[in-house]
């Protein structure tokens, strides 16, 4: 943002400035660094291309005031949300339970994990630097020298500004002054457009090395992830429950829908107001989660569950309980014919390793339509068994291509001479595997980091470094886009100490023909209103983080 200097030496703004010195300011809450190194270069560039730059920054005036109008509408809407949520009181908590998950973004923007702090810093430097470069270049094109450029840290919030002498601004017309004040917001808008266009063209730029949108590739699996030890970087996700996944967006969308489906089914059970335990378990038994596997009889001896407290049963060593699914005409287990589900659970459930069970033949009626699994298709020496799911959990099968394993690498060596692309049928037959996940679909969605870019050839498939190049470019562009958009919108707001204050003051002096004292009163009214709306919007955002939107 540009900081103006009045003739009496006082600066218009909260940031401390010096009139004739570049002494750096340091205090318990604020410190800054000032430099004049770029002054002459910026002024020479601005004067050399002044006609083009004046036309360029004239376009920024319209964009900046459109942004100001949009920000005012956003602030009013957010403030109304806060008032409405306060009036509804406790109903906010109830409504937000489900909407919190429904409102989660498909492609996360700035929901930042710790590992992305570096991208946040890069995006901030690029956004702030391009913003201030706009102010300095606009001032130079109008013949106004920049006295110095400063970067500062106020408490924990970084920022920057350019110092412009107020005496030089006073002799300029209002339209020329507006070009200087609106230049920062305009450059942030241009930065957003450039990031968006680059993101859209990135698959074309990298098409010789990477395919885009065919299958997501695993970038990292955190040690705390539920898939740690099962998936590794470089492996390619093919399907979720036999439905093809093309990119990380589809991965998130599919798992979000599955999670919401579980929430809806739990709400359905609550709506029944069923007090009979058997009836409730019968409803669960008849749900679409009747997905089973043909377990050999000889696996079952010695795998009974261990009884806990309150008729609960647990498995040891990371195993999970499985229970038999009976044929419709069979005389074996049937939830509807029992009087005590806990008794059935004790008699008919077994602790099995999901990693082993998922390799068996499928049975049951809850698999996708592409798989014609029959509930009675198991042999006489096998039982069709499904996992016992806790409330909110579900059974999810993930099909993927293995990477960096001896069997898969040997298959790659045989196929490398044919120069086959990753994902071909030959490649899948050598490396394809699957795993079974039992738990919350929402936690699974964010348990691993994926990229939509997949190396073209097997030579790249064996190396981990190529996976990170598209991801690094995408994240840098994405963070820069969001930070630049936020910085531009914030500075266009009619708020004290931001660019919006100077923009509003200039436009009032053009439009309103009254005494200067009345102009200051009008300006103060709008600035106080805008600042209040901004504070209410911040409170609204904090409340949404706690309770979730609705």
Compute the mean pLDDT over every residue in the chain, rounded to the nearest whole number. 75
- pLDDT over 70 (residue 164): yes
Residue whose C-alpha is closest to residue 460's, from 222, 217, 237, 239: 217
| Confidence (pLDDT) at 329 | 41
| Each residue's pLDDT tens digit, 126-158 | 999 999 999 999 999 999 988 899 988 877 778
Largest interatomic CA distance in the chain: 97
Over range 394-412, report the average pLDDT: 67
Report whether 239 contacts 398 (CB < 8 A): yes
- pLDDT over 90 (residue 63): yes
Catalytic residue flag (residue 239): no
Query: Which among 25-34, 420-429, 480-489 has the top mean pLDDT?
Result: 480-489
The proportion of the chain whose per-residue pLDDT surpasses 90, expressed as a percent, equals 26
Give the C-alpha separation, 474 to 109, whole Å.
Answer: 11
| Confidence (pLDDT) at 132 | 94
Identify which has the larger pLDDT, 501 or 282. 501
Residue partners of 431: CB distance under 8 A and separation at least 6: 401, 402, 403, 405, 407, 408, 411, 412
- pLDDT over 70 (residue 274): no
Report whether 128 contacts 487 (CB < 8 A): yes
Assigned domain for 348 exists: no
| Each residue's pLDDT tens digit, 228-272 | 888 888 888 998 887 889 889 899 988 888 888 777 655 544 544
| Confidence (pLDDT) at 166 | 77
| Confidence (pLDDT) at 135 | 95
Helix (H, G, I), strand (E, B) or coil at 301: coil
Give the C-alpha separation, 132 to 488, whole Å.
Answer: 11
Residue partners of 222: CB distance under 8 A and separation at least 6: 228, 447, 448
- pLDDT band at 306; cut points 50, 70, 90: low
Helix (H, G, I), strand (E, B) or coil at 383: strand
| Confidence (pLDDT) at 344 | 52
What's the N-to-C CA distance of the chain in angstroms? Answer: 35
Pairing of strands 362-364, 349-352: unpaired
- pLDDT band at 184; cut points 50, 70, 90: very high
Assigned domain for 253 exists: no
The proportion of the chain whose per-residue pLDDT surpasses 70, expressed as a percent, equals 68
Give the C-alpha separation, 458 to 205, whole Å.
Answer: 20
| Confidence (pLDDT) at 56 | 96
Assigned domain for 284 exists: no
Report whether 272 contacts 284 (CB < 8 A): no
- pLDDT over 90 (residue 414): no
Report whether 289 contacts 266 (CB < 8 A): no
Assigned domain for 346 exists: no
Structure tokens at 292: 């089973």
Cα separations (Å) of 377 from 168, 178, 352, 360, 366? 87, 77, 21, 13, 14
Over range 10-24, report the average pLDDT: 45
For the ranges 45-54, 214-223, 398-407, which has the lowest average pLDDT? 398-407
- pLDDT over 70 (residue 417): no
Query: Which among 186-200, 207-221, 301-315 has the top mean pLDDT?
Result: 186-200
- pLDDT over 50 (residue 15): no
Give the C-alpha separation, 177 to 156, whole Å.
Answer: 31
For the ranges 92-106, 116-130, 230-244, 380-394, which has the lowest average pLDDT? 92-106
- pLDDT over 60 (residue 396): yes
Assigned domain for 251 exists: no
* Planar angle of CA 382, 384, 385, nearest 5 degrees: 120
Identify which has the larger pLDDT, 323 or 545. 323
Report whether 309 contacts 315 (CB < 8 A): no
Report whether 439 contacts 393 (CB < 8 A): yes
Give the C-alpha separation, 7 to 322, whole Å.
Answer: 82
Query: What is the domain range of residue 480?
Result: 2-202+475-547
- pLDDT over 50 (residue 297): yes
- pLDDT band at 368; cut points 50, 70, 90: low
Over range 90-114, report the average pLDDT: 42
Assigned domain for 512 exists: yes
Over range 402-429, report the average pLDDT: 50
| Confidence (pLDDT) at 538 | 81
- pLDDT over 60 (residue 214): yes
* Planar angle of CA 397, 400, 405, nearest 5 degrees: 125
Assigned domain for 33 exists: yes
Give the C-alpha separation, 16 to 3, whole Å.
Answer: 10
Phi and psi at 320, nearest 5°, equal -125, 150
- pLDDT over 60 (residue 289): no
This prediction has a pTM of: 0.73
For the ranges 33-42, 324-333, 351-360, which has the lowest average pLDDT? 324-333
Structure tokens at 449: 């980091």
For the ranges 49-53, 94-98, 447-451, which has the lowest average pLDDT? 94-98
Residue whose C-alpha is closest to residue 185's, from 60, 50, 75, 12: 60
- pLDDT over 90 (residue 461): no
- pLDDT over 50 (residue 529): yes
Identify which has the larger pLDDT, 18 or 402. 402
- pLDDT band at 409; cut points 50, 70, 90: very low
| Confidence (pLDDT) at 44 | 94
Give the C-alpha separation, 219 to 233, whole Å.
Answer: 5
| Confidence (pLDDT) at 69 | 93
| Confidence (pLDDT) at 359 | 76
H/E stretch holding 243: strand 243-244
Assigned domain for 317 exists: no
Give the C-alpha separation, 500 to 177, whole Å.
Answer: 13
Tell me which of 78, 132, 265, 397 is the catalytic residue.
132
Helix (H, G, I), strand (E, B) or coil at 305: coil
User: In angstroms, how far is CA 207 from the centroid of its own chain?
Assistant: 25
| Confidence (pLDDT) at 430 | 59
Domain tally, the chain: 1
Which letter does DSSP use for residue 14 in this model?
S
């Amino acid at each position: 943002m540009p900081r103006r200097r009045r003739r009496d030496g006082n600066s218009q703004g909260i940031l401390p400035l010096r009139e004739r010195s570049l002494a750096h300011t340091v205090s318990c809450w604020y410190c800054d660094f000032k430099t004049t190194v770029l002054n002459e270069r910026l002024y020479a560039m601005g004067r050399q291309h002044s006609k083009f730059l004046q036309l360029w920054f004239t376009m920024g005036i319209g964009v900046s005031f459109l942004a100001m109008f949009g920000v005012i509408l956003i602030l009013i809407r957010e403030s109304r949300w806060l008032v409405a949520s306060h009036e509804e009181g406790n109903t906010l908590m109830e409504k937000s339970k489900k909407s919190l998950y429904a409102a989660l973004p498909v492609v996360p923007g700035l929901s930042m994990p710790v590992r992305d702090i570096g991208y946040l810093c890069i995006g901030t430097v690029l956004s702030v630097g391009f913003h201030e470069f706009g102010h300095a270049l606009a001032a130079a094109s109008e013949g106004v020298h920049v006295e110095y450029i400063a970067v500062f840290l106020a408490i924990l919030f970084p920022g920057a500004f350019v110092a412009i002498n107020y005496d030089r601004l006073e002799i300029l017309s209002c339209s020329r002054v507006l070009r200087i004040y609106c230049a920062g917001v305009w450059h942030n808008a241009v930065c957003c457009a450039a990031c968006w266009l680059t993101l859209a063209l990135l698959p074309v730029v990298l098409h010789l090395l990477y395919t885009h949108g065919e299958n997501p590739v695993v970038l990292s699996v955190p040690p705390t992830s539920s898939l740690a030890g099962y998936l590794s970087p470089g492996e390619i996700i093919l399907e979720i429950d036999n439905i093809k996944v093309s990119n990380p967006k589809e991965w998130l969308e599919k798992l979000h829908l599955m999670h919401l489906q579980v929430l809806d089914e739990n709400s359905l059970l609550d709506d029944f107001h069923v007090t009979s335990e058997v009836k409730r378990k019968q409803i669960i038994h008849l749900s679409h989660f009747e997905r089973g596997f043909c377990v050999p009889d000889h696996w079952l001896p010695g795998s009974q569950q261990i009884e806990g407290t309150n008729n609960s049963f647990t498995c040891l060593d990371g195993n999970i309980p499985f229970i038999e699914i009976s044929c419709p005409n069979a005389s074996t287990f049937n939830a509807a014919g029992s009087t005590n589900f806990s008794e059935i659970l004790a008699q008919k459930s077994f602790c099995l390793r999901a990693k082993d069970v998922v390799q068996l033949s499928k049975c049951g009626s809850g698999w996708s339509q592409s798989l014609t699994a029959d509930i009675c298709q198991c042999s006489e020496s096998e039982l069709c068994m499904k996992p016992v799911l806790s409330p909110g959990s579900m059974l999810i099968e993930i099909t993927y291509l293995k990477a960096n394993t001896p069997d898969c690498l040997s298959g790659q060596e045989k196929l490398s001479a044919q120069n086959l692309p990753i994902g071909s049928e030959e490649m899948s037959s050598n490396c394809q595997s699957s795993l079974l996940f039992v738990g919350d679909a929402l936690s699974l969605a964010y348990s691993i980091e994926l990229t939509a870019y997949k190396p073209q050839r097997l030579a790249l498939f064996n190396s981990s470094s190529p996976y990170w190049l598209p991801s690094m470019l995408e994240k840098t562009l994405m963070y820069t886009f969001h930070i630049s958009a936020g910085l531009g919108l914030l500075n266009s707001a009619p708020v004290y100490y931001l660019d919006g204050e100077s923009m509003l003051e200039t436009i009032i002096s053009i439009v309103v023909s009254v005494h200067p004292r009345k102009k200051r009163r009008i300006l103060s009214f709008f600035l106080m209103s805008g600042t209040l709306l901004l504070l209410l919007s911040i409170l609204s955002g904090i409340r949404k983080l706690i309770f979730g939107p609705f």
